[in-house]
Amino acid sequence: MAVSRGWLQSRRAGFSLEVDWQVEQGEVLVLFGPSGAGKTTTLRAIAGLVRPEHGRVEIGGRIVYDSAENVWVPAHRRRVGYLTQRYHLFPHLTVARNIAYGAPKKSAIPRAERVRRLIELFRLDGLEQRRVWQLSGGEQQRVAFARALASEPELLLLDEPFASLDAELRRTLRDELRSMLTASPVPVLLVTHDKEEALALGHSALVFDKGRVVERGEPFQVLGQPGRGQVARMVGVENLFRLEIDSRNPADGTMICVGMGIRLEAPLGDLTSDEGSRPDGKGLVTVGIRSSDIILSKQEPVGISARNRLQGVVTDLQPRPPGFEVTLECGVPLRAQVTGAALSEMGIETGQYLWAVFKASSCFLVQEEAPGGVPGPA
């Protein structure tokens, strides 16, 4: 049973949108994409704060917008909780009164009791009479969550709730949010442009670009092994190679790709583009490999299951938290992610010859919308 679903479409200048979604009870749907891609507008339209030309929005089994039936429920009757990047706690009210602000007067649980429980749940005891600007970033976020939940929402809309926090606090609060979401199973739409956040919190993901959904699926699939060049560049896939299909092995589900002086074994793609599925089985494909999926070795690795082994010379070493990015020139520049400890233990330095090892299943095919952008075959 879907708890919220719908579609929106708008073509007005500055408000171009084409999106549809579905999110279940206790599920987090990530809206991922660069800023200006229409993620926030989507949230605001679902909340009833802006009105797109066409669409249909269902929240908790109620239709709150249907352009065909001329249904429009105003924001204050939609029962959504909306969290902005900067929280926007009301500065003229105390913590307790901020939380009580939207708590319904008529409810199964009395208002005061509800506020008390939320204060307890979010560990805000003792801060009830505090001014909101006296709170730390994390406390402010907890107040914002408590305030949103006090109004008994049937859908939570989170607009980059971690954007204004530093990296360490962000990680802590992300874990907190996850446990909180399991405790109160409200469906959640989470806007972010942080890949880590999307992977850590999302059950499913929509990738936005220029107001449209360009990719959807499980966060790991969509963002970890993105199937489109557009998305791959958005999330920063470190290695993208334009290669020619040399031979296919359907029984094994793999194929051999060559070009640029390298030879890779990759999964047989189900690409429908005419490039990858020419009758002769040949054609050009773009193969992506995450730098964190690559293992570096000083000796030639033998007797292991990983199908891809490339030798190259280290040309660059860059810090890239949490570790270092090593660039290995093996005909093509191959980027591998290693920890600081591995770097010093192996004594990796530029000019050194190393082996790069990765599994065939770490390779994924990326569909190119517009050719160019990645280097062609040598």
Partner 1 sequence: MTWPPAKDGGRSLPSIGNIFGAPATVLYLLFIGFPVLALLIRAAGQDGFLSSLSSDVALTALKLSLGTSIISMAVVLLIGTPFAYLLAKNTSIFLRALDSLVELPIVLPPVVAGVAMLMAFGRNGLLGPPLAELGVSLPFTSIAVVFAQVFVAAPFYIRSAKVGFQSVATEYEDISQTLGVSPWRTFWQLTVPLASPSILTGFALAWARALSEFGATIMFAGNFMGKTQTMPLAIMTAMETSLDTALALSVLLLCVSIVLLAGVGLLARRHWQERL
44 binds partner 1 (CB under 8 A): yes
**Binding residue (CB under 8 A) for partner 1 from 14, 68, 69, 74:** 74
Give the nearest distance from C-beta 279 to partner 1 in angstroms: 56
Using the minimum distance from each CB to partner 1, give the nearer residue, 4 or 337.
4
59 binds partner 1 (CB under 8 A): no
Tokens (6 digits) for 251: 């029984």
134 binds partner 1 (CB under 8 A): yes
Tokens (6 digits) for 54: 């066409």
262 binds partner 1 (CB under 8 A): no
90 binds partner 1 (CB under 8 A): yes
Stretch that binds partner 1, among 89-97, 293-301, 327-335, 342-350 (CB under 8 A): 89-97
**Binding residue (CB under 8 A) for partner 1 from 54, 111, 116, 131:** 131
Torsion of CA 358, 362, 368, 373, to 10 degrees: -40
Whether the Cβ atoms of residue 6 and residue 57 lie closer than 8 Å to each other: yes
Using the minimum distance from each CB to partner 1, give the nearer residue, 88 or 278.
88
Question: How many residues sit close enough to partner 1 to count as binding (CB under 8 A)?
Answer: 33
Give the nearest distance from C-beta 90 to partner 1 in angstroms: 7
Q: How far apart are CA 41 and CA 228, in angstroms?
A: 24
Stretch that binds partner 1, among 87-95, 224-232, 250-258, 282-290 (CB under 8 A): 87-95
Tokens (6 digits) for 23: 């999110």
92 binds partner 1 (CB under 8 A): yes
Verify cis geometry, omega within 30 degrees of 0, for the bond prior to 322: yes
Give the nearest distance from C-beta 131 to partner 1 in angstroms: 7
**Binding residue (CB under 8 A) for partner 1 from 49, 73, 180, 343:** 49
Whether the Cβ atoms of residue 242 and residue 341 lie closer than 8 Å to each other: no
Whether the Cβ atoms of residue 271 and residue 367 lie closer than 8 Å to each other: yes
Which residues on adjacent β-strands are paired with residue 243? 285
Q: How far apart are CA 138 and CA 180, in angstroms?
A: 14
**Binding residue (CB under 8 A) for partner 1 from 56, 114, 142, 147:** 147
Q: How far apart are CA 229 and CA 374, in angstroms?
A: 9
6 binds partner 1 (CB under 8 A): no
Tokens (6 digits) for 366: 């990326």
Using the minimum distance from each CB to partner 1, give the nearer residue, 117 or 216.
117
For the chain, what's the residue count?
A: 378
Give the nearest distance from C-beta 51 to partner 1 in angstroms: 13
One-letter amino acid for residue 238 of the chain? E
151 binds partner 1 (CB under 8 A): yes
Buried b (16+ CB within 10 A) or exposed e, 262-290: bebbbbbbebeeebbeeeeeebbbbbbbb
12 binds partner 1 (CB under 8 A): no
Binding site for partner 1 (CB under 8 A): 44, 47-49, 74-82, 84, 86, 88, 90-92, 101-102, 104, 131-135, 147-148, 150-151, 153, 157
